[in-house]
């Protein structure tokens, strides 16, 4: 009964001692291991004193408050917690080292990029004055600016060409009246002739094109196609002119202006420096219209022969 009572009293005392000494693992400091060893030793001493041996005698405690008891077995110097803390410290140290190295590398890369930009001309021009520039500045200052280099004259920019006809040209074209008779086709042709005669060639080209398209069977059609070719030729467009001269001749060789178109076709070829085709057109003209070659158009025909050398 006495042993049971003592045991009932001792067990709570041991648990209380353990609970009193237990602290959160994360809050242990450098002395936690030593304190834990001391508590364990006191518990063992308490057990030996409370529980007697086989002979009913009590064991003396291994340690006292005045002098800690030493054991033959060496206690471990580290625990799992201290190992974890040590490893965490090592990892944090490595992370800090890597962060520092990354910053160093980033700074080095920025320096290299700046040098590359300078070499490729991307960096702004240096504002330092070269020795020759300094000498020139000093000489200019001593001579009152008389020796200063003068900027090279800039070539005059050509005036932009107007995108459309001027107001004066529009007024002049509008001054040319269009006839109004009972023959609408003849009115269109006559208006084109008046524009050509006034040397408004682009306007004449537009008007005569309208006439030949709208009135292909008109009695003036041979005149219209021939005059359209002449408007292009006088406007410096021999290629377009040659197409209309050839079309007028081939469409109706007996047309009123078919001989004229064949002779003007030779002139268009001469303007294009196509001597071979010019000679062919002149030969065709003399063979097809011998009376006209020696009559109405003889002067123009002889003038064209002098411009080329035909076999």
pLDDT for 269 beyond 60: yes
105: confidence class by pLDDT, cuts 50, 70, 90 = confident
* Six token digits for residue 63: 């340690």
What secondary structure, in 3-state letters, does 63-98 show?
A: CCCCCCCCCCCCCCCCCHHHHHHHHHHHHHHHHHHH
Question: For 294, how many CA atoms within 13 A lie in the half-sphere containing its CB?
Answer: 4
Least Cα distance to 230 among 218, 215, 245 occurs for: 245
* Six token digits for residue 71: 């054991």
113: confidence class by pLDDT, cuts 50, 70, 90 = confident
3-state helix, strand, coil in the chain (%, to 5): 65, 0, 35
Q: How many angstroms separate the CA atoms of 18 and 95, rounded?
A: 38
283 vs 114, which has greater pLDDT? 283
Point out the least confidently predicted range of 66-70, 257-261, 294-298, 299-303.
Answer: 66-70
Q: How many angstroms separate the CA atoms of 233 and 58, rounded?
A: 143
107: confidence class by pLDDT, cuts 50, 70, 90 = confident
pLDDT for 153 beyond 70: no
Point out the least confidently predicted range of 17-21, 169-173, 202-206, 295-299.
Answer: 17-21
293: confidence class by pLDDT, cuts 50, 70, 90 = very high
* Six token digits for residue 169: 């040209």
148 vs 209, which has greater pLDDT? 209
pLDDT for 302 beyond 60: yes
Burial of 183 (0-12, 13-18, 19+ CB in 10 A): middle
Per-residue burial over 40-53, b = 16 or more CB atoms within 10 Å of its CB, e = otherwise: ebbebbbeeebeee
Task: Give the pLDDT mean for 1-25.
Answer: 47
């Amino acid at each position: 009964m006495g042993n049971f009572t003592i045991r009932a009293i001792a067990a709570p005392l041991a648990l209380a001692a353990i609970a009193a000494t237990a602290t959160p693992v994360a809050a242990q400091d450098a002395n936690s291991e030593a304190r834990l060893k001391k508590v364990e030793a006191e518990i063992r001493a308490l057990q030996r004193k409370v529980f007697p041996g086989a002979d009913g005698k009590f064991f003396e405690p291994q340690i006292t408050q005045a002098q800690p008891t030493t054991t033959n077995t060496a206690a471990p110097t580290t625990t799992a917690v201290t190992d974890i803390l040590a490893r965490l410290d090592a990892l944090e140290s490595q992370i800090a080292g890597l962060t520092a190295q990354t910053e160093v590398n980033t700074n080095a890369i920025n320096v290299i990029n700046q040098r590359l930009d300078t070499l490729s001309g991307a960096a702004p021009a240096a504002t330092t004055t070269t020795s020759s520039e300094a000498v020139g500045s000093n000489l200019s200052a001593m001579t009152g600016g008389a020796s200063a280099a003068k900027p090279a004259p800039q070539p005059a920019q050509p005036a932009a060409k107007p995108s459309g006809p001027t107001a004066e040209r529009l007024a002049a074209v509008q001054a040319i009246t269009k006839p109004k008779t009972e023959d609408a086709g003849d009115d269109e042709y006559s208006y084109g002739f008046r524009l050509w005669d006034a040397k408004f060639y682009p306007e004449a080209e537009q008007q005569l094109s309208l006439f030949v398209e709208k009135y292909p069977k008109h009695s003036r059609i041979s005149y219209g196609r021939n005059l359209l070719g002449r408007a292009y030729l006088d406007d410096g467009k021999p290629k377009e002119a040659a197409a209309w001269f050839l079309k007028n001749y081939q469409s109706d060789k007996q047309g009123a202006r078919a001989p004229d178109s064949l002779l003007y076709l030779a002139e268009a070829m001469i303007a294009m420096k196509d001597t071979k085709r010019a000679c062919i057109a002149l030969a065709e003209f003399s063979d097809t219209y011998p009376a006209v070659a020696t009559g109405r158009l003889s002067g123009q025909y002889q003038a064209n022969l002098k411009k080329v050398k035909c076999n």
